[in-house]
Structure 1
Amino acid sequence: MNALAATSRNFKQAAKLLALDSKLEKSLLIPFREIKVECTIPKDDGTLASYVGFRVQHDNARGPMKGGIRYHHEVDPDEVNALAQLMTWKTAVANIPYGGAKGGIGCSPGELSISELERLTRVFTQKIHDLIGIHTDVPAPDMGTNSQTMAWILDEYSKFHGYSPAVVTGKPVDLGGSLGRDAATGRGVLFATEALLAEHGKGIAGQRFVIQGFGNVGSWAAQLITEAGGKVIAISDVTGAVKNLNGLDIAQLVKHSAQNRGIKGFNGGDAIDPNSLLTEECDVLIPAALGGVINKDNANDIKAKYIIEAANHPTDPEADEILSKKGVLILPDILANSGGVTVSYFEWVQNIQGFMWDEEKVNAELRTYMTRAFGDVKQMCRSHNCDLRMGAFTLGVNRVARATVLRGWEA
């Protein structure tokens, strides 16, 4: 099942639990606007190359649309639509005043030079600048993009609209970015995990963790979990996987990964098959890479007691059913990885106010938002007698539906 079908299925299940009017249900599912643009740039060798860019603006009932821009060769309309829809429910679960959007360009960023990436970003911004804005649609980094990409978007957008730091989040701190933003999604994963474990009388300390993905989210989650007393026993990235039952030295692994562009060759553990990582014996499994990695083919072999979805849509619905029958508790992506968009909201607020927060305040506010969101999801679970995923979806969908009706939607 592709990401869009799976996301829509979860939405429809939530709509059924909420007994939503069928016309309202259909309205909430259809995106507000879909944008597709051609981006042609001169390559460094003088040849021309064309790429297709997308921006799907899903819903703005609760505020400006919000979502990342990813550069990846597999970017396509279905994926962007699914991720935009997830952002709508995610921002509602976090209870921040945003809607949902997502964007991307079908390209392989690793094959482009810095100057080519800059030209591509600026052309993309030129094509969509009149459809994004501080109170309209606020992009952010995603897979294959970073703070430098946001700086280029900010600069290009400002040529048309005047200096507008709040038009993107995830910017460099020197251009109005928020302290604590780099670690925000990983830190949110930590806070959400703490909240889930506390429900079962446990803490981070003493738990064994396995993490798939060692990019921004996975690496920060690993560092913060280790600092909190957890034992990260296995990690993978696109280059390989490493395991140490006594706990990996995450600080050394971060250094090795930076120096070698991946964790392959790290001598602080045993190399293992990356395909076996998800089925390693552990207490907590954290998929922090691509979507769809937990499916009907491997769900029966997963041995973790808890799954924290740090990636977007890592678990297929078929796998959900299998894991539920096994008693595995899954903290869904629209709650577990909402720390990034929450601190993006803090960044946006700081830009609008022209007043910068210190990092201690950012982190304290993030803990408050993540803990409160978990409590709100649990309340929906009790109200609708459902699991955590449906608790999160019913919470998010209900908030968006209420805002839509209050603003004057008519059946």
Structure 2
Amino acid sequence: MGTATDSKGFGSAVANEWETPDFLNAQKRLDKAAEILKLDSNTLEPMRHPKRSLSVVVPARMDDGSVRTFMGYRVQHDLALGPGKGGVRYHNDVTLGEVASMAMLMTWKCSLMNLPFGGAHGGIRMDPNQLSQRELERITRRYTSEILELIGPSQDIAGPDLNTDEQTMAWMMDTYSVNRGYTVPSVVTGKPQSIGGSLGVLQSTGYGVALAARRAAEYAGLTGEPTVVIQGLGHVGSAVARNLSKAGFKVIGVSDAHGGLHNAKGLDIDALMAHIDKNGNMYEFPSADKVTNEELLELECHILAPCAVSNQLHAGNADRLKCKVVVEGANSPTTPNADDVLDSKGVVVVPDILANAAGVTVGYFEWVQGLMRLFWTEEEVYSRLEGLVNNVCTRVFDRAKDKQLSLRMSAMSIAVERIVEARKLRGLYP
């Protein structure tokens, strides 16, 4: 039911849907990197647009017998380095432009981490919280069947993202495999270990964010017991809190979608997690003051780690932030306008394509293990991950110092440079 088109073949209606703030912001950052690298328009222009996009209508039968339809998308931004790699998200606000911006982000993330992947992303516009498990399975399987022509272990590998998890990936893998007539584990990553998933996946992104935060603290000259505020306490944020707390950092503020907690003397992270496990939320946790998400972002601290959703740091609040370092655990949490404000204040921003790249890196590890049918221990996974993240941090920090760049533009220039080299070597066909 879907129609694949390349970037130049879109009608005005689809082109307009592309032109969301998220996608335009992604293009702005590419344009800045292109200025630094002195790229000509012939080199830049193809990278400003996705290579391929598929929009599909996803009909599914509800538990009450009715049939509802949902819009689904899969976008491949650039495949110069290898097959596409990127998540699938379920949310009411999913648009073609948002998915395209995420696909572009994945291109730079994979390139920066020296992975043999291009950037891709997908999603379905719906509220998963209003659907049963059976309905989610039917929607996921139909969506997978609609995008079969684009995905595959050598074409485009999906992974979990917002409101999707290892069960979602299991449904996608099974649907793809049934259509192929044999089991194809490496069509997705982030699946359960019992069907080919890797150890270390669930905590990998947060582990990487914490590692990037530790390196950024050294880069920014922070000493003693740096204070940390974390927005978002899901898989990523909770892992960041645990890892930084163990490393001697003082976590003084955390939040979820409904609000947050603050204690200037430091929160007991183990006790907080136990409280959440027992009660299902962080409220009524003793020895902490309640704050709103807006107030949390503006708390005085050394390190602010936005690990929730995009566009949380913007022109309206950037000048009120009282942190020394921002470590982007979420994708695109800082708008370009906020970037300019933070840069003028001397705030060090560790960009998402570096800070949270451990997730796609361990996804790559899972893909490799699946193709080899040889699986690593958790210690091997984290040892390889730590080595990669540390090496990339060193490259990004060194280039930033040498060329007087922000960490974002240092990371972007490294990532774009690798894509440009690959495109040049491959040439333009025909």
Match among 112, 121, 132 for residue 113 of structure 1: 132
Q: How does 1:354-365 map to 2 (within 5 A)?
A: 354-365=373-384
Q: Does 1:184 find its partner at 2:204?
A: yes
Aligned residue number for residue 26 of structure 1: 45
CA contact (8 A) 1:239 1:264 kept: no
In 2, the alpha carbon distance for the partners of 1:31 and 1:310 equals 24
The 1-side partners of 2:107 and 2:284 are apart by: 40
Tell me, in whole angstroms, the C-alpha distance in 1 between the residues paired with 2:145 and 2:324: 48
- Cα deviation, residue 266, structure 1: 2.6
Task: Give the counterpart of 1:155 among 174, 190, 213.
Answer: 174
Offset of 1:269 from its aligned partner? 1.5
Output the amino acid matched with 1:167.
V
SS of the residue aligned with 2:57?
Answer: strand
Q: Give, in whole Å, the separation in 1 of the partners of 2:88 and 2:378.
A: 25
Corresponding position of 1:195: 215
Give the letter aligned to residue 304 of structure 2: L
2:353 is aligned, of 334, 337, 360, to: 334
Q: Is it true that 1:318 corresponds to 2:337 in the alignment? A: yes
**1:172 correspondence with 2:195:** no
Hey, what's the Cα distance between the residues in 1 that align with 2:399 and 2:212? 16
In the TM superposition, what whole-angstrom CA distance separates every residue of 1:152-197 from its partner, at most 9, and x where no partner exists? 0011010012211111000111111111110010000111112222
Counterparts of 1:260 and 1:247, CA distance in 2? 21
> What CA distance in whole angstroms lies between the structure 2 residues aligned with 1:36 and 1:261?
37
Question: 1:387-406 maps to which residues of 2 (within 5 A)?
Answer: 387-406=406-425
In structure 2, the CA distance between the partners of 1:179 and 1:22, relative to structure 1 (3 Å rule), is same
Q: CA deviation at 1:381?
A: 2.1
Aligned-partner Cα distance in 1 for 2:402–2:420: 17
Of the three residues 154, 157, 170, the one matched with 1:138 is 157
Determine the C-alpha separation between the residues in 2 that align with 1:27 and 1:79: 19
Residues 1:59 and 2:65 aligned together: no
Q: Is the 8 A contact 2:78 2:118 kept in 1?
A: yes
1:83, distance to aligned residue in structure 2 (A):
0.6
CA–CA separation in structure 2 for the residues paired with 1:24 and 1:170? 34
**Where does residue 275 of structure 2 map in the other structure?**
256
For 1:175, the aligned partner's letter is: I
1:293 to 305, 308, 312: 312
The Cα offsets for residues 322-370 of structure 1, whole Å up to 9 and x where unpaired, read as 1111111100111101010000011111101111100011111111111
Distance in 1, Cα, partners of 2:270 & 2:131:
30
Cα pair 1:239 1:263 within 8 Å, conserved: no
Q: 1:240·1:271 contact (CA, 8 Å) conserved in 2?
A: yes
Q: Distance in 2 between matches of 1:152 and 1:383?
A: 47
The amino acid of 2:389's aligned partner reads M
1:262 Cα offset (Å): 3.2
Equivalence for 1:277: 296
The number of residues matched between the two structures is: 410
Of the structure 1 ranges 191-200 and 39-48, higher mean CA displacement relative to structure 2 is found in 191-200
Match of 2:202, SS state, is coil
- Contact kept, 8 Å, 1:17 with 1:384, in 2: the verdict is no
TM-score by length of structure 1 reads: 0.97
Deviates more, 1:244-253 or 1:81-90: 244-253
Partner in structure 1 of residue 24 of structure 2? 5
The answer for the alignment partner of 2:257 in structure 1 is 238
2:399 maps to 1:380: yes
The one of 82, 97, 101 aligned to 2:116: 97
In 2, distance between residues paired with 1:97 and 1:54?
23
In 2, Cα distance between the equivalents of 1:39 and 1:383?
50
What is the deviation of 1:383?
4.9
CA separation in 1, counterparts of 2:75 and 2:276? Answer: 34
Secondary structure (helix, strand or coil) at the match of 2:140 reads helix
Unaligned runs of 5+ in 1: none
**TM-score, structure 2 normalization:** 0.92
**Is the contact between residue 350 and residue 357 of structure 1 (CA under 8 Å) also seen in structure 2?**
yes
Aligned partners of 1:122 and 1:156 also within 8 Å? yes
Q: Secondary structure at the match of 2:201?
A: coil
Q: CA RMSD in A?
A: 1.5
Residues 220 and 348 in structure 2, CA contact (< 8 A), matched pair in contact too: no
Report sequence identity in percent.
41
